[in-house]
Amino acid sequence: MTFDRQAYFTRIGFDGVATPDLETLQRIHLLHISTIAFENLDVLLGRKINLGIDDIFNKLVVAGRGGYCFEQNGLLRAALEDIGFEVEDLGARVLMSLPPEMPSRTHRLLLVTINQQRFIADVGFGGKSLTAPVRLEADIAQTTPHGVYRLTLVENDYLLSIQHKDEWQPLYRFDLSFQYPSDHEAGNHYVSTWPASHFRHHLMLCLKNVDGTMLTQIDWQFNEGEPRIIEQADELYQLLMDKFGLRVDDKRHGFSREEFAAACRF
């Protein structure tokens, strides 16, 4: 199945007329991230992450699953292009964990141009992901429904940071170089198969609500405003459906309680 605009709109709860303007981009960005959960379950289940738009659409829209940046922003790009937006893929180096050396580009984000003004759109960075596009403009604080962000120039790159109390926490660094599909394939393969990748050793889910609240699941800890520990794999399996809205019944993209329990090695 190729991209189906109406099916996507139904999935995220978008109604009305979609035109390639900032208001539409803002609405779709927020609805997408508040409906389609960030999750890395397929990596833990030992499944290959396929990045063709047919595969992404079937998993995230038809099968009711979530995904991570290569899938999430791949789906958003297909939707925006279908509406008529000018969209480009970018690749970023993740700095959130303060790595001792500059990492490779393992994050996918989007550059959207509207009337010659450029915006960064990103629905695939988990708990620190944007819930609104931000202008590609340095040294200004930009408020979104889930935090205040800032772009700064570092050498020839842009650095995206989020305000945390009185400090700015760096998230990722990127330039405007053209990204080929093979660039994303390489990054996707790296983060999903590299033995030391945190995606292979930790369960990570996030759903950001339109009211500014957020749900997260990191390994066995669930947070809906107050953290609590999930004791059993069965309880966590049910929580995936009840809280994060994941479907687990699809023939190809679903998974049983037994499969999930076997993957709970984090």
- Catalytic residue positions, numbered: 69, 107, 122
What are residue 204's DSSP bridge partners?
218
Contact 228, 6 (CB under 8 A): no
Task: Sort 223 into a burial class: Cβ within 10 Å, 0-12 / 13-18 / 19+.
Answer: middle
CB 89 within 8 A of CB 77: yes
Phi, psi of 130 (to 5 degrees): -65, 145
8 A C-beta contact, residue 12 and residue 219: no
Rg (CA), the chain: 18
Q: Which residue is listed with tokens 């479907």?
A: 247
Three-state secondary-structure class, residue 111: strand
Q: ∠ CA 68-143-130 to the nearest 5 degrees?
A: 5
What distance in Å separates the CA atoms of residue 113 and residue 61, rounded to the nearest whole number? Answer: 25
The separation between the first and the last C-alpha atoms of the chain, rounded to the nearest angstrom, is 34
Q: Are 124 and 70 in contact (CB under 8 A)?
A: yes
DSSP reduced 3-state for 135? strand
